[in-house]
A and B are shown apart, each in its own frame.
Chain A
């Protein structure tokens, strides 16, 4: 097993890697946006890594993360809080590596190597001021629809994508519905009343 993927990447791209951790053999690296293409190309082409499969690409909006439970329903009954609303102790609080205020969004890539049978998670924090990142469609074709979905739901632009248009919602849809500041009751029907 190549349990030293993160250390290897650290040694090879010291300027691009923000943080790395290895939790229960799940290896994760946090990288700078500018180094994405360079690092992922190495992930694919380096025979010691040989990540031939981009399994998943998604995005996280940290707008309200850890700030308040304002969006959670208020409980009027004296029943105990559900586990996900209980205040967490410091030991359980997961640290992200960058500040939520500065880097509101984070792309999460999951890579898999079918020849070496190992996996790697790559995270790319993004500032809301400049939500553009390089497209990986040239390296993995599966990135095509994933990136369209992330554009549709979160509004992250992928530079170099051949066909960056909405994949789930309709073209007339305004905004990006999985952003935490999208109004939860907002409706944009094509026909019929805005129920």
Chain B
């Protein structure tokens, strides 16, 4: 004799801790927008009420990397600003995710010159790539939902190596004037 339970009458549920954490995290995305170029306009369009990123729990940009979960890299990254981007990434607390917003961050886009980084994944690990020049807000939201899936599953891009273990050529030179 097997006891049957009417699950519709239950007012409790079982889960795993990491699944519960992932569910909670995917709806509380504190993003750090690293906006450098024209994609920023599309990012703003997505963030405002018409498309309403807050539906996905991502409506609260933090402008301190230490309070952020997701790094939105929005716009062309030049070799000059690359050390700044990596420093911002290194300052973020774990767990953290990175979204490459627009083709310039994905691959360098139509830039192929002395100044532009050909894809930010040569500098930091990237979780979600959103192509487009710039991507439509629908495209951004699609990428955001894919990121939510990734957060819920607890998967992440391969970790950036321990800074002390990086090869010499990847070390960030100490250049306090780099942002000038």
Chain A contact residues, CB within 8 Å of chain B: 168-170, 172, 177, 182, 184, 186-193, 195
B170 touching A191, Cβ below 8 Å: yes
Q: Kindly state the interface size class of chain B when it binds its partner.
A: 20 to 34
Grouping DSSP codes into helix (H, G, I), strand (E, B) and loop, the A interface class, with mixed when no group exceeds half, is: loop
| Pair A169/B117 contact, Cβ less than 8 Å | no
User: Does B123 sit within 8 A of A, measured CB to CB?
Assistant: yes
A60–B151 CA distance with the chains assembled, in angstroms: 52
In the complex, chain B residues whose CB is within 8 Å of the CB of A184: 113
B56 to chain A, nearest CB (A): 31
Q: Check A190–B173 contact: CB distance below 8 A.
A: yes
**Residues 153-180 of chain B, each 1 if its beta carbon lies under 8 Å from chain A, else 0:** 0000000000000000111110100100
Given A177-B114, A182-B114, A186-B114, verify A191-B119 contact (CB < 8 Å): no
Partner of A192, one of B114, B115, B122, B175: B122
> What is the minimal beta-carbon distance from A191 to any residue of chain B, in angstroms?
5
A191 touches B114 (CB 8 A): no
Question: Which of A177, A182, A186, A195 gathers the greatest number of chain B CB atoms within 10 Å?
Answer: A195
Q: Residues on B close to A: CB < 8 A?
A: 79-80, 82-83, 86, 108, 113-115, 117-119, 122-123, 169-173, 175, 178
Given known contacts A182-B114, A192-B117, A195-B117, A187 and B79 CB-to-CB distance under 8 angstroms = yes
Contact call B122/A170, Cβ cutoff below 8 A: no
| Chain A neighbourhood of B113, CB < 8 A | 177, 184
A191 touches B83 (CB 8 A): yes
How long is the Cα–Cα vector from A187 to B80 in the complex, in angstroms?
12
26 A-B residue pairs with Cβ-Cβ distance under 8 Å, sorted by A, are A168-B115, A170-B178, A177-B114, A177-B115, A182-B114, A186-B114, A188-B79, A188-B114, A189-B79, A189-B82, A190-B79, A190-B80, A190-B82, A190-B83, A190-B173, A190-B175, A191-B83, A191-B86, A191-B170, A191-B171, A191-B172, A192-B82, A192-B122, A193-B122, A195-B108, A195-B117
Are the CB atoms of A191 and B80 closer together than 8 Å? Answer: no
Q: Which 4 A-B pairs have the closest CB atoms?
A: A195-B118, A192-B122, A177-B114, A192-B123
Q: Closest approach, in angstroms, between the C-beta of B85 and any C-beta of chain A? A: 9
CB A180 to nearest CB in B, in angstroms, measures 13
Partner of B117, one of A168, A177, A182, A189: A189
User: A170, B114: Cβ atoms under 8 Å?
Assistant: no
Identify which of A182, A188, A191 gathers the most chain B CB atoms within 10 Å of its CB: A191
CA A60 – CA B98 in complex, angstroms?
41
Per the bound structure, the CA–CA distance linking A132 and B103 in Å amounts to 41
Q: Is the CB of A192 within 8 A of B173?
A: no
Could you say which of B114, B123, B169 has the most chain A C-beta atoms within 10 Å of its C-beta? Answer: B114
Smallest CB gap from A170: residue in B? B80
**Complex Cα–Cα for A191 and B178 (A):** 13
Other-chain contact of B123, A168, A169, A172, A191 (Cβ < 8 Å): A191
Minimum CB distance partner of B85 in chain A:
A191
Task: Across the interface, name the chain B residue whose C-beta is closest to A193.
Answer: B122
* CB of B134 to closest CB in A, whole Å: 22
Contact B82 A195 (CB under 8 A): no
Q: A186 to B178, alpha carbons, bound, how many Å?
A: 22
A182 to B115, CA, bound (A): 13
- Chain A residues whose CB sits within 8 angstroms of the CB of B86 once the complex forms: 191
A166 to chain B, nearest CB (A): 10
Query: CA of A52 to CA of B164 in the docked complex: distance in angstroms?
Result: 55
Which chain B residues lie closer than 8 Å to A182 at the CB level? Answer: 114
Return A169 CB to nearest CB of chain B, in Å: 7
